[in-house]
Amino acid sequence: MTQEAPQAGGSAASETPLPYVVYAPDDFHPDGIARARQLFRTVVALGDDGWQQWPEHAEGLMSRIRHVHGADIRRAVRLRAIAKQGVGLNSIDVAAARECGISVCNSPGINADFVAELALGLAISVARRIGEGDRRMRAGEALIATELMGHSVFGRTIGIVGMGHAGLATARIFQRALGCRVVAYSGGHSAQAGWSEVPHERCDSLEELLKQAEILSLHIPLTAKTEGSIGAKQFALLPPNAILINCARGGVVDEAALLEALRSGRLGGAGLDTLAHEPATAERYGNGLYACSNVVVCPHIGAATEDCQRISAIAVAENLALLLQGKVCPGTVP
């Protein structure tokens, strides 16, 4: 006998809750859960009784970072829609969802400015050797400025790979804040509206862009086609002392080739918000990328601000409501 779905949540007096059972088995901002409880009759959030039983009961699923596996999707006979926080969909078995007739959407554009802000911070930190200086001083070195000479980011050529929301926001902030020359390549994906507002040169190929990019900033999804697509061949085309910034997905970079390029001096440095294996550990990276003084790493914090998490969690709840009602939703996966 099928168990009754646990009852949780509530609704706002100003709205009639939609008659759906929604599960949010992930660590969402509280305001996102509050919005879901305004929108839906039943909401079971992380920590509520029975929150792990979503395959048995959920009609709608709010997803953030936990993997939504195909096996669970296939046994979720009531499930009609999945709404994902952020842009990346590699944590959801989209093929299984499509096979089962389940609608899936992400939340395009919401994280873009926050990602761009971090990309700028990483570029400056690597170029000016801020991270290295901090580590060495904390370790007891009495440094003087001439021992930590870096490079300015002002007026450099930045190559943007991926012309979606995050790529556009990154191009805009580098161009407007630091007068950088922008070259861009779509990576086979559609360019986001708004690029006409940013002075830039659009490249017809990745190779054309790489030959010019003193700073290379990646903003492409992780797919079978893009996995490991930035490797030794691509690094060899960059100008000497170029900097790599990856705020996309770690898997798009061949990390063994990246390590070799850094150690050999072919690359001037790297700012990495994403790594191929997350959460990253010292056991995996301690003798490699972590040991490179010209690398700054972060634990995938592109969207890790209070305001970004609040806005994007609310958007997940509202997008899920659109999907469940059969309405047009931004970010719907074809």
Q: DSSP letter string over 302-329?
A: TT-SHHHHHHHHHHHHHHHHHHHTT---
Domains and their CATH numbers in the chain: 18-110+307-324 (3.40.50.720), 112-297 (3.40.50.720)
d(CA 305, CA 111): 10
Read off the amino acid at residue 171.
A
d(CA 160, CA 182): 7
Selected catalytic residue, list 176, 300, 306, 318: 300
Are 281 and 260 in contact by the 8 Å Cβ rule? The answer is no
3-state SS assignment for residue 215: strand
Clarify whether 138 is annotated catalytic. Answer: no
d(CA 297, CA 274): 8
* Farthest CA pair distance, the chain: 74
Give the phi and the psi of residue 78 in degrees, each rounded to 5. Answer: -90, -10
Beta strands in 206-266 (DSSP E): 215-218, 242-246
3-state SS assignment for residue 95: helix
Selected catalytic residue, list 15, 197, 207, 278: 278
Read off the amino acid at residue 80.
R
pLDDT tens digit at each of 334 positions of the chain: 344 444 444 433 347 999 999 999 999 999 999 999 999 999 999 999 999 999 999 999 999 999 999 999 999 999 999 999 998 898 999 999 999 999 999 999 999 999 999 999 999 999 999 999 999 999 999 999 999 999 999 999 999 999 999 999 999 999 999 999 999 999 888 888 899 999 999 999 999 999 999 999 999 999 999 999 999 999 999 999 999 999 999 999 999 999 999 999 999 999 999 999 999 999 999 999 999 999 999 999 999 999 999 999 999 999 999 999 999 998 999 8
pLDDT of residue 6: 43
Report the candidate in 224, 97, 120, 111 with the shortest Cα–Cα distance to residue 176: 120
- Report which DSSP code applies to 259: H
3-state SS assignment for residue 281: coil
Q: What Rg, from alpha-carbon coordinates, does the chain have?
A: 22
C-beta atoms surrounding 45 within 10 Å: 22
**Residue bearing tokens 């007891």:** 140
- Residue 224 falls in which region: left (phi positive, over 0), alpha (psi -120 to 50) or beta: alpha
Selected catalytic residue, list 249, 255, 260, 263: 249
What is the layout of strands, in order, in the sheet containing 40-45? Answer: 40-45, 18-24, 60-63, 81-84, 103-105
Clarify whether 249 is annotated catalytic. Answer: yes
**Residue bearing tokens 């903003």:** 219
Clarify whether 277 is annotated catalytic. Answer: no
Helix, strand, coil content of the chain in percent (nearest 5) = 35, 20, 45
3-state SS assignment for residue 238: coil
Token pair for residue 312? Answer: 């994007």
